[in-house]
C-alpha cells in the first residue's frame, strides 16, 4: 500500500470512522465552505484613525519606523530617508501600478529598478496589501507587483501602506483576500511582517538584522 493509503487508513481506524461518514463529512465541509472568525481581541476594533494610530504604536514597538504622509510625497519621503541614513539613492520595486504612478520625476537623482531582487539591492520599496493594527503587522502578497524577494534580501525595506488598508485584525484581511482571489485561494506567498528581522539565539540578546532587513520603514499614506 502507498504511504498515503497506509497513513489515512491508520488515522481512520484510530478515529473509528465508519464507511458512511456523512455527519463528520458535512461538519468538515461546512467549516471549510464558510470560515468563521473565533474571538477577535477588542484591541484593534477601532475607527480608521484609531486603527492607524494603534498600527503605528505597535509597529514602532517592534522597532519599525513609521511616517504618515500624502501619496504624492512618497518619492521625496523615500529620498529623504535614504539621505538621512547615508544610503545610495537607488531603489528596487515591483511593477505595482500604485508605485509606478507616483511622481518619481520629483526626485531625479533617485534611481528606481523594477523586478525581483538577486541579493545585490540595498533598499527595496514594496506596497503592502494591508496592515493589521492589532500587532503593527504588514501583509504583503507575492506576484509581479511586489516580488517576495524584496521583503527579505535588501538590508533596508521601505513599505508603502494606504491608511484605508489598515485593518483591525487578521480576520478582516483574510476576508479581503478571499474577495479578491476567490474562496480557498491565496497568492503563492503571503508575508505577515511585524518589524525588522531579529534573533536572540546568542545568549538571548535581542539583535536586529538577522537574515532579513535590518531596518523596516513604513510610509502610511493618506
Partner 1 sequence: MQITAEHFKENARDALDDAQLQRALSKVGDNFIGKRAKAVAALPEFEQLRAEARAIKDHTLDHLDLYLEAYEARVREQGGHVHFAETAADARKIVLDICRRVGARTATKGKSMISEEIGLNEHLAANGIAPIETDLGEYIIQLRGEVPSHIIAPAVHVNKDQVEADFRRVHTHLPPDRDLSEPVSLLAEARGVLRDRFLAADVGITGANFLVAETGTSIIVTNEGNGDLTQILPRVHIVVASLEKMVPTLDDASTILRLLARSATGQDMSVYTTLSTGPRRPEDPDGPEEYHVVILDNGRSAVLGTEYQAMLRCIRCGACMNHCPVYNAVGGHAYGATYPGPIGQALDPAIFGLEKTHELPNVSTFCGRCESVCPMMIPLPALMRHWRDKEFERALSPATQRFGIRVWAYVAKRPRLYRFATRIAMRALGNLGSAAGRFKSLPLAGGWTRHRDLPAPAGRTFMDLYKAGRGRA
Q: Residues 138 to 197: which contact partner 1 by CB under 8 A?
A: 142-144, 147-149, 151-153, 169-171, 174, 184-197
Distances (CA, A) of 179 to 16, 29, 131: 38, 20, 17
Q: Which three cell numbers stand for residue 116?
A: 525581483
**Minimum distance from CB of 81 to partner 1 (Å)?**
20
Q: Which helix (H) or strand (E) holds 52?
A: helix 48-61
Task: Report how far residue 213's alpha carbon sits from residue 216's, in angstroms, rounded to the nearest whole number.
Answer: 7
- Work out whether 43 is an interface residue with partner 1 (CB under 8 A): yes
Does 18 contact partner 1 by CB under 8 A?
no
Q: Is 100 in the site for partner 1 (CB under 8 A)?
A: no
Which letter does DSSP use for residue 97 in this model?
H
Stretch that binds partner 1, among 44-52, 79-87, 134-142, 158-166 (CB under 8 A): 134-142
Strand partners, 140: 191
**Binds partner 1 by CB under 8 A, chosen from 135, 156, 217, 220:** 135
C-alpha cell at 174: 483574510
Measured distance CA(59)–CA(212) in Å, rounded: 17
121 near partner 1, rule: CB under 8 A: no
* 28 counts as binding partner 1 under rule CB under 8 A: yes
Among 18, 24, 72, 113, binds partner 1 (CB under 8 A): 24
Amino acid at each position: 500500500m502507498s504511504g498515503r493509503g497506509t497513513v489515512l487508513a491508520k488515522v481512520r481506524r484510530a478515529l473509528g470512522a465508519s464507511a458512511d461518514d456523512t455527519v463528520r463529512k458535512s461538519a468538515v465541509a461546512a467549516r471549510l465552505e464558510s470560515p468563521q472568525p473565533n474571538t477577535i481581541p477588542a484591541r484593534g476594533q477601532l475607527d480608521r484613525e484609531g486603527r492607524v494610530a494603534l498600527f503605528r504604536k505597535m509597529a514602532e514597538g517592534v522597532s519599525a519606523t513609521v511616517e504618515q504622509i500624502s501619496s504624492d510625497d512618497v518619492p521625496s519621503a523615500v529620498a529623504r530617508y535614504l539621505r538621512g541614513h547615508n544610503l545610495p539613492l537607488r531603489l528596487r520595486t515591483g511593477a505595482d501600478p500604485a508605485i509606478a504612478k507616483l511622481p518619481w520625476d520629483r526626485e531625479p537623482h533617485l534611481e528606481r529598478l523594477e523586478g525581483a531582487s538577486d541579493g545585490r539591492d540595498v533598499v527595496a520599496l514594496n506596497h503592502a496589501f494591508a496592515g493589521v493594527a492589532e500587532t503593527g503587522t504588514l501583509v504583503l502578497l507575492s506576484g509581479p507587483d511586489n516580488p517576495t524577494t524584496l521583503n527579505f534580501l535588501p538590508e533596508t525595506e521601505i513599505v508603502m501602506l494606504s491608511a484605508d488598508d489598515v485593518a483591525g485584525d487578521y480576520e478582516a484581511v483574510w476576508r479581503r483576500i478571499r474577495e479578491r482571489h476567490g474562496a480557498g485561494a491565496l497568492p503563492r506567498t503571503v508575508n505577515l511582517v511585524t518589524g525588522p528581522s531579529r534573533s536572540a539565539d546568542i545568549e538571548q540578546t535581542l539583535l536586529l538584522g538577522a537574515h532579513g532587513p535590518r531596518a523596516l520603514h513604513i510610509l502610511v499614506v493618506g
